[in-house]
């Protein structure tokens, strides 16, 4: 069997870092871990070609060569994903698909002509698919209620990647999350009981990347890295001596729940292991909204204090915020802005609430007949209007979003938060705790930043030089981190314009320019 594995293109989004990638001479932020794990589950005798279409496009010769096309996608990749299915069908190729998007919305893939749907987690369903092929079946849907034991997951095929095209490499330690946030599809996809790999297994993956020559930053893609705190501490205790023995070849970033701040030992272990950043789902400083959406883990302790503790442990904070929760009070956007300024979070991801299919939120809104027709499948790009009727005017929410994003990413505001965040971080003594780049890419990045922010932009020129000099004097260990954050600003300053345009297009007017806003008549999804 000749299999062509394709990973669809992402649209420009908050996380695509387009201008940053261009400045640094890179193509994509992280590699697609799911599909290269699927590649490891395929028979050894198969011939495999792989293309991450965000890095390099496959050739027409690849299409002619293959017998089978395998695709994996998230909802945000919908457009390219469906187009690839349709192309494969036109060329007479068999198509197999998997990943979070077809698992949540299988009908879209079926309607586009996919022959095999390998849904849920691949360790359970790829063997079903292979058995069906052996039996000569020409189509099928393969599902599993049972969750796999991830200690039996294979080593991802890191060798298939064009590694120098990525900002970071990636591994996974766990799946699932113990919490029950109403809007989150992680628990519907992977369950509420976090399943972890063995420490030796994760270290073997790191060793493989090390042996392949990777040096630099690495994203642990777990949706909640600390979901199983006992097992993550076991891993960290073995990771620390491995990092020491290998002279700290990697620095780590991951996602975690805010209760990370409650565990001093865990913070210490992450710091010693080389974690330089963490993404937190803060969502909102409004306690009422957190209760409504069942994000109770964010209500136990003051959120500002939690952020301060994580910074003091030497860790940079990225964070997500959401507008549009039920019962949300007027001024929610302003309160998010105030919180961001108070905590100096450099890159707040501000989004409008969506109800992903099959989540608790989706099911509740469907029962309440509040889902909107034509919007049942959100795009996942952070600036799509909600796919349900909110409890406060959509015009008000849209204005909060656009104004919030526009203000937070004003160049002087953004650079000030980058500076203040770096000053608040307490790095481990004698060691850099930061994003790493190769020497060539690092020099290119510095030259570009100096040109764009130190020379070309008069509105921030002197601020840039003043802050840079202060970082050099007071926090030289964080120089790489600071310059990386500065460079990312080039992406966000372009993206805020795009976000405003997208919302304006959906509304039919610019929410920042109209004082009295119309209320469009919604169309409800029939139950």
Segment 452-467 shows an average pLDDT of 96
Does residue 490 have a pLDDT over 60?
Answer: yes
Q: What pLDDT does residue 381 have?
A: 63
Q: What pLDDT does residue 380 have?
A: 58
Confidence of residue 424 (pLDDT cuts 50, 70, 90): very high
Token pair in block for residue 162: 């064009």
Token pair in block for residue 4: 């062509």
User: Cβ(128)–Cβ(116) under 8 Å?
Assistant: no
- The string of pLDDT tens digits covering residues 61-119 is 999 999 999 999 999 999 999 999 999 999 999 999 999 999 989 999 999 999 999 99
Find all residues with CB under 8 Å of 307, minimum gap 6, and list them. 261, 280, 317, 343, 345
C-alpha to C-alpha distance for 106 and 83, rounded to whole angstroms: 15
- The string of pLDDT tens digits covering residues 252-295 is 999 999 999 999 999 999 999 999 999 999 999 999 999 999 99
Q: Which residues pair with 524 in a beta bridge?
A: 372
The share of the chain scoring above pLDDT 70, in percent, equals: 95
Segment 196-224 shows an average pLDDT of 97
- Least confident segment among 12-26, 371-385, 473-487: 371-385
Q: What pLDDT does residue 429 have?
A: 80
DSSP structure string for 80-99: HHHHHHHHHHHTT-EEEEES
Confidence of residue 427 (pLDDT cuts 50, 70, 90): confident
Q: What pLDDT does residue 84 have?
A: 98
Q: What does the buried/exposed string (b/e) look like for 197-209 if buried means 16 or more CB atoms within 10 Å of the residue's CB?
A: bbbebbbebbebb
Does residue 527 have a pLDDT over 50?
Answer: no
Domains and their CATH numbers in the chain: 2-142 (3.40.50.280), 150-368 (3.20.20.70)
Does residue 521 have a pLDDT over 60?
Answer: no
Does residue 525 have a pLDDT over 90?
Answer: no
User: Cβ(124)–Cβ(103) under 8 Å?
Assistant: no
Segment 480-508 shows an average pLDDT of 94
User: Cβ(167)–Cβ(17) under 8 Å?
Assistant: yes
C-alpha to C-alpha distance for 116 and 110, rounded to whole angstroms: 9
Does residue 163 have a pLDDT over 80?
Answer: yes
User: Cβ(341)–Cβ(301) under 8 Å?
Assistant: no
Does residue 442 have a pLDDT over 90?
Answer: no
Q: Is 191 left (phi over 0), alpha (psi -120 to 50) or beta?
A: left
Question: How many C-alpha atoms does 46 have within 13 Å on its Cβ side?
Answer: 21
C-alpha to C-alpha distance for 206 and 211, rounded to whole angstroms: 9
298-306 long-range contacts, Cβ below 8 Å, gap at least 24?
A: 298/258, 300/259, 300/262, 301/258, 301/261, 301/262, 303/258, 303/339, 303/343, 304/339, 304/342, 304/343, 305/261, 306/258, 306/260, 306/261, 306/262
User: Cβ(187)–Cβ(272) under 8 Å?
Assistant: no
C-alpha to C-alpha distance for 217 and 254, rounded to whole angstroms: 11
Q: What pLDDT does residue 379 have?
A: 54
Segment 410-420 shows an average pLDDT of 98
Does residue 125 have a pLDDT over 70?
Answer: yes
C-alpha to C-alpha distance for 509 and 507, rounded to whole angstroms: 5
List the Cα angle 489/491/493 in 5-degree steps.
65
C-alpha to C-alpha distance for 57 and 106, rounded to whole angstroms: 25
Does residue 519 have a pLDDT over 60?
Answer: no
- In the β-sheet with 275-283, what is the strand arrangement from edge to edge? 169-171, 216-220, 250-256, 275-283, 316-323, 348-352
- The string of pLDDT tens digits covering residues 300-336 is 889 999 999 999 999 999 999 999 999 999 999 999 9
Q: What pLDDT does residue 138 have?
A: 96
Does residue 520 have a pLDDT over 60?
Answer: no
Does residue 526 have a pLDDT over 50?
Answer: no
Token pair in block for residue 453: 């922010």
Does residue 443 have a pLDDT over 70?
Answer: yes
Does residue 516 have a pLDDT over 80?
Answer: no
Segment 335-355 shows an average pLDDT of 96
Tell me the CA distances in angstroms from 458 to 92, 410, 465, 489, one per residue in order. Answer: 56, 14, 11, 15
The stretches of 147-219 forming alpha helices (DSSP H) are: 186-190, 199-211
Q: What pLDDT does residue 187 have?
A: 83
Segment 235-250 shows an average pLDDT of 96
Confidence of residue 358 (pLDDT cuts 50, 70, 90): confident
The share of the chain scoring above pLDDT 90, in percent, equals: 87
Stated as kind and residue range, the H or E segment containing 70 is strand 68-72
Q: What pLDDT does residue 522 have?
A: 47
User: Cβ(411)–Cβ(462) under 8 Å?
Assistant: no
Does residue 47 have a pLDDT over 90?
Answer: yes
Mean pLDDT of all residues in the chain? 93
Segment 438-458 shows an average pLDDT of 89
């Amino acid at each position: 069997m000749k299999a062509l594995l394709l990973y669809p293109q992402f649209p420009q989004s908050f996380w695509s870092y387009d201008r940053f990638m261009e400045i640094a001479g890179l193509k994509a932020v992280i590699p697609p871990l799911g599909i290269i794990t699927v590649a490891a589950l395929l028979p050894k005798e198969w011939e495999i070609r792989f293309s991450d279409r965000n890095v390099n496009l496959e050739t027409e010769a690849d299409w002619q060569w293959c017998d089978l096309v395998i695709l994996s996608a998230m909802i945000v990749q919908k457009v390219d994903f469906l187009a690839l299915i349709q192309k494969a069908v036109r060329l007479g190729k068999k198509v197999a698909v998997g990943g979070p998007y077809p698992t949540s919305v299988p009908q879209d893939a079926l309607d586009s002509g996919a022959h095999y749907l390998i849904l849920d987690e691949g360790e359970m369903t790829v063997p079903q698919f292979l058995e069906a092929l052996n039996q000569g079946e020409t189509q099928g849907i393969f599902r599993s209620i049972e969750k796999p034991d991830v200690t039996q997951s294979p080593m991802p095929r890191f060798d298939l990647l064009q590694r120098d095209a990525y900002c970071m490499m990636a591994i996974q330690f766990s799946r699932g999350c113990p919490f029950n946030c109403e809007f989150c599809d992680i628990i519907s996809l992977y369950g509420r009981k976090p399943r972890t790999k063995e420490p030796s297994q994760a270290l073997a993956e790191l060793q493989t990347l090390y042996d392949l020559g990777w040096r630099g930053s690495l994203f642990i893609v777990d949706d909640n890295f600390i979901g199983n705190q006992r097992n993550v501490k076991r891993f960290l205790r073995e990771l620390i001596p491995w990092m020491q023995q290998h002279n700290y070849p990697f620095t780590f970033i991951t996602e975690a729940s805010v209760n990370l701040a409650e565990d001093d030992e865990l913070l210490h272990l992450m710091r010693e292991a080389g974690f330089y950043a963490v993404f937190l789902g803060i969502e909102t400083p409004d306690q009422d909204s957190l209760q409504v959406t069942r994000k109770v883990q964010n209500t136990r302790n003051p959120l500002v204090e939690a952020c301060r503790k994580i910074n003091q442990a030497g860790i940079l904070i990225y964070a997500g915020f959401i507008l549009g929760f039920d019962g949300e009070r007027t001024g929610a956007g302003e309160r998010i802005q105030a919180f961001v300024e108070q905590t100096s979070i450099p890159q707040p991801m501000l989004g409008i609430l969506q109800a992903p299919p099959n989540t608790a939120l989706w099911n509740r809104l469907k029962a309440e007949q509040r889902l909107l027709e034509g919007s049942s499948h959100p795009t996942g790009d952070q600036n799509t209007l909600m796919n349900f009727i909110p409890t406060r005017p959509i015009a008000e929410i849209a204005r909060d979003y656009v104004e919030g994003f526009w203000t937070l990413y004003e160049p002087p505001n953004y650079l000030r938060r980058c500076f203040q965040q770096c000053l608040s971080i307490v790095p481990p003594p004698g060691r850099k705790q930061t994003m790493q780049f190769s020497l060539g890419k690092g020099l290119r990045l510095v030259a570009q930043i100096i040109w764009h922010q130190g020379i070309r932009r008069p509105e921030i020129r002197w601020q840039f030089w003043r802050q840079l000099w202060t970082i050099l004097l007071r926090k030289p260990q964080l120089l790489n981190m600071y310059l990386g954050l500065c460079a990312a600003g080039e992406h966000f300053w372009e993206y805020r314009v795009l976000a405003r345009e997208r919302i304006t297009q959906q509304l039919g007017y610019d929410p920042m320019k109209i004082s009295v806003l119309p209320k469009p008549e919604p169309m409800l999804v029939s139950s």
